[in-house]
Amino acid sequence: MFIPEEKISEILHAADIVDIVSESVILKKSGQNYFGLCPFHSEKTPSFSVNPGKQIFHCFGCGAGGNSLSFVMKYHGLAFPEAAKMLARKYNITVDTRHLDPAVKKHQDLKETLFRINRKVMAHYHQHLHKDPAGQAARQYLDHRHITPAVMEEFHLGFALDQWDDVVGFLKKARVSRKAAENSGLVLPRKTGSGFYDRFRNRIMFPIFDINMQVAGFGGRVMDDAMPKYMNSPETPVYSKTRILYGLHAAKTHCRTTGIVHIVEGYFDFLTLYQHGITNTVATLGTALTPEHVRILKGYAPAMILVFDSDAAGIAAAKRSIKTFVNEGVETRILILPKGEDPDTFVMKNGAAAFQKLAETARSVMAFLREVAIEAHGMSVSGRAKVLADMVPYLGDIHDSALRSLHVRDLAETLGIDETAVLEKVKQQVVQGRHPRDTVSDTHPADPERSSDPRERQLLSLMLHSPDIIGQVRDSGVLDHFYSERLCRIGRIMVQADPDPDFFVTRVMGGMASDEDRELVAALAMSGGVDDNDSLPAAAAAVIQRIIRIRRKNDSRLTAKIKQAEKSCDTDLMELLRLKQQELRQIYNGQ
């Protein structure tokens, strides 16, 4: 561990797990725990739980689990020291990074440098927009698009000069290294091999913030018909287009309060809706929405409305979105604006209330696709057959069989076709190999520990619930009698840990060598337990005794049988040796 133990403990004390998780997952309290939809696997019913007492999270669906640090690592895809630093920054704890692993430190330094460069360049672009005579055209353009000065300020809009070396010169003057400059994606190496040139030229600049308000990258839009109309930063160590959504940093709380998020395509669509008070909006950055986007958004709003300016765009997106949205268990509706309008022009002309009213008419993805098909083919006998043929692939794309059968019934009713006939067609489609597994979201991963003696798990659970019994466990020597080497290993770490009940579970997690072990600890801490603490020592003693007795009995039975077989010198011996071998292998594998 590179960050001192005390620092980690300080961070864990400051970072409340419920606070940390609820930044990205909608949590509801139920008993002692909080529950929400797991951000790490697809699900429709919450099996992701957070225990504020033990300061841990655990998903009963996919097995993910850990403390607030492991949550930040897993959710933001960070390495341990980065996650620790991120939390430390949040809670104003200073962390000395001199002792970091050189490779980790290098990567972390690079990321910090890139955020710093981006922020400086953001200010530089901003300056051009407001102070530079060359920014005049851009100012007029924004004015013409009715973007208010307040929104320009809030989103730090800027302007990239029509020059090849403006940012190149700016970075040089700011003493940014060539490597960092190139890594930022703001400049590109010249084909001649010497020097760099500006990526963004003569464009309105939109800084792209991540959820922590850091400038991750930029989008640039031309002011005329030049191509490409939009250009974004390339993937960098701080900018990942599959994770970042424009405006989410500003929209997140509004998404929380309304339970709805509008998803639009362009920067101007976003800004116009935002300045008209439709602040629960995000924009995709010219890329299709990814499952990662959807999982992130799901943490802020359970319902999503995709806003499009034409049927064609809507259809394409609806088709794509079935796999992402429907299977992520998100209520998704499609809103097609009147012909010739985009969100920007529609709101400018008709106002926010008209937009909200229109949004209420947004149809579910399936209803939308069905209506499009009916419009195309009509409701004659042959038309309905074609509608059915169009719809079958979409239905086949729904993994959850219960949900699929609801949509099948809907379609059968609309078309006046027998439900079983529709179902038959869909089943053929599914069997044709589009879905190797049905109801992916509802399958639980195999639990490798389940085959071992359940009492071993039970005992570890009891220890996690109440470290008071640790002395009892240690003195009994019961861990030596565990069948599962893995549980034994975890048990030993618990026995060696400081038994102070405050943060005991997170401390034990810190001692785990792998994510799998950490997740197992979270699972054990969330399961079992006893209702009243007085009976705990007695309960623990009973479990300990039972584990030892069973192990001894099995061992002596096996030894006796082997002796017997040796005497009779027959194939029984072979069989027994095989069994013994198997058992040893099982122990070795930690099962």
What is the spatial distance between Cα 410 and Cα 366, in angstroms, rounded to a whole number?
A: 10
For the CB of residue 60, give the shortest distance to Zn ion in the complex, in Å. Answer: 8
Work out whether strand 48-51 and strand 33-36 pair parallel, antiparallel, or are unpaired.
antiparallel
Q: Name the nearest CA neighbour of 83 among 105, 68, 103, 63.
A: 68
What is the spatial distance between Cα 55 and Cα 562, in angstroms, rounded to a whole number?
A: 49
- Give SS3 for 585: helix
For the CB of residue 40, give the shortest distance to Zn ion in the complex, in Å. Answer: 5
For the CB of residue 59, give the shortest distance to Zn ion in the complex, in Å. Answer: 3
- Are 551 and 481 in contact by the 8 Å Cβ rule? The answer is yes
DSSP letter for 324, please. I
For the CB of residue 63, give the shortest distance to Zn ion in the complex, in Å. Answer: 7
- Give SS3 for 230: strand
For Zn ion, the binding residues (CB under 5 A) are 38, 40-41, 59, 61-62, 64
Whichever of 36 and 135 has its CB closer to Zn ion, that residue is: 36
| Single-letter code of the amino acid located at 246 | Y
- Are 218 and 205 in contact by the 8 Å Cβ rule? The answer is yes
For the CB of residue 42, give the shortest distance to Zn ion in the complex, in Å. Answer: 9
What is the spatial distance between Cα 305 and Cα 321, in angstroms, rounded to a whole number?
A: 11
What is the spatial distance between Cα 544 and Cα 12, in angstroms, rounded to a whole number?
A: 32
Scanning 477-535, the segments in alpha helix (DSSP H) are 485-496, 504-510, 515-526
Q: Name the nearest CA neighbour of 196 among 207, 183, 206, 212.
A: 183
Torsion angle defined by CA atoms of residues 67, 73, 79 and 84, in that order, rounded to the nearest 10 degrees: -60
Whichever of 77 and 471 has its CB closer to Zn ion, that residue is: 77
For the CB of residue 328, give the shortest distance to Zn ion in the complex, in Å. Answer: 12
- How is residue 413 written in tokens? 């009713």
Whichever of 27 and 204 has its CB closer to Zn ion, that residue is: 27
Burial of 420 (0-12, 13-18, 19+ CB in 10 A): exposed
For the CB of residue 64, give the shortest distance to Zn ion in the complex, in Å. Answer: 5
Whichever of 387 and 523 has its CB closer to Zn ion, that residue is: 523
| Single-letter code of the amino acid located at 208 | I
Whichever of 24 and 272 has its CB closer to Zn ion, that residue is: 24
What is the spatial distance between Cα 417 and Cα 428, in angstroms, rounded to a whole number?
A: 17
- How is residue 277 written in tokens? 């008070």
Sign of the CA dihedral with 567 first, then 572, 575, and 579 last: negative
For the CB of residue 355, give the shortest distance to Zn ion in the complex, in Å. Answer: 35
What is the spatial distance between Cα 66 and Cα 210, in angstroms, rounded to a whole number?
A: 24
Whichever of 67 and 452 has its CB closer to Zn ion, that residue is: 67
Whichever of 443 and 556 has its CB closer to Zn ion, that residue is: 443
For the CB of residue 198, give the shortest distance to Zn ion in the complex, in Å. Answer: 44
Q: Name the nearest CA neighbour of 219 among 259, 228, 350, 211.
A: 228
DSSP letter for 498, please. -
- Distance spanning both ends of the chain, measured CA to CA: 28
Burial pattern 210-225, b for ≥16 Cβ within 10 A else e, equals bbeebbbbbbbbbbee
For the CB of residue 81, give the shortest distance to Zn ion in the complex, in Å. Answer: 25
**Residue reference for tokens 């200010």:** 123
Whichever of 62 and 301 has its CB closer to Zn ion, that residue is: 62
Whichever of 59 and 547 has its CB closer to Zn ion, that residue is: 59
Q: Would you mind telling me the total number of residues written for the chain in this entry?
A: 591
For the CB of residue 252, give the shortest distance to Zn ion in the complex, in Å. Answer: 22
For the CB of residue 294, give the shortest distance to Zn ion in the complex, in Å. Answer: 15
List, in sequence order, every beta strand (DSSP E) within 101-202: 158-160, 187-189, 196-198
For the CB of residue 32, give the shortest distance to Zn ion in the complex, in Å. Answer: 20
